[in-house]
Amino acid sequence: GNSVTQMEGPVTLSEEAFLTINCTYTATGYPSLFWYVQYPGEGLQLLLKATKADDKGSNKGFEATYRKETTSFHLEKGSVQVSDSAVYFCALRPSQGAQKLVFGQGTRLTINP
Amino acid sequence: GAGVSQTPSNKVTEKGKYVELRCDPISGHTALYWYRQSLGQGPEFLIYFQGTGAADDSGLPNDRFFAVRPEGSVSTLKIQRTERGDSAVYLCASSLILGGTSGSSYNEQFFGPGTRLTVL
């Protein structure tokens, strides 16, 4: 089946620290991979995506590289800000034409000034 | 423009009651999705519509759950004989029409704020 596993949170960092949130997946075929973010009081928003192996998605200083050999899509940011505090969800879209998303359990990130 | 809206934002009901949750997608979006998010978990897929028809309802947990989209816009998720385990945030998302015949393209799903359902 299809599943996504994220590192457990919560994660607390100081401003300007380096961030990594691990994500690994299990899927048949070649899924597309996503990171969604949920800021306090807001709905889920797409942060970045990658549709094939070795693709790198990037947005707002965040990056993630689709690694087929390790079935991973780790989220990274070189210098986090207080405004990055949110819950981050890794997700996949199974191949074979499926449109539904399969999400990980989410990682709550808190950035302290 | 307006995003996906969901009503009500909160719903408290008693075990055994019937509830309806409404989703208004972004205007022009032909695909609509329902997900359920339990506390501390990621969203779980329930059903998705392409136009008026349910293209994939494989995530509906049992026959107490039903969703409709009669005119290809607003959708209603209906839960009969609610149980305490149904308590969750119900999320709706919409996207533009799927591209191509293979379904291989992806159109971003835009999520609403959710309806928090509490079954006492």
pLDDT in tens, B37-47: 999 899 999 99
User: Considering only A89-93, B20-24, B97-101, which range has the smallest mean pLDDT?
Assistant: B97-101
The reported pLDDT for the residue numbered A69 is 94
Q: In terms of DSSP H, where are the helices of chain B?
A: none
Is A93's CB within 8 Å of B106's CB? yes
B101 band by pLDDT with thresholds 50, 70 and 90: very low
Cα–Cα distance measured from residue B114 to residue B120, given in angstroms and rounded to the nearest whole number: 19
Q: List b or e across B57-89, with b for residues whose CB sees 16 or more CB atoms inside 10 angstroms.
A: eebbeeeebebebeeebebebebeebeeebbbb
For chain A, percent of residues with pLDDT exceeding 90? 81
User: Which residues between 67 and 106 in chain A have a beta carbon less than 8 angstroms from any beta carbon of chain B?
Assistant: 89, 91, 93, 95, 97-106
Q: Is B49 in contact with B69 (CB distance < 8 Å)?
A: yes
| A32 in reach of chain B (CB within 8 A) | yes
According to DSSP, residue B97 is labeled: P
Render pLDDT for B51-63 as a digit per residue (tens, 0 to 9).
999 999 999 999 9
Is A106's CB within 8 Å of B98's CB? no
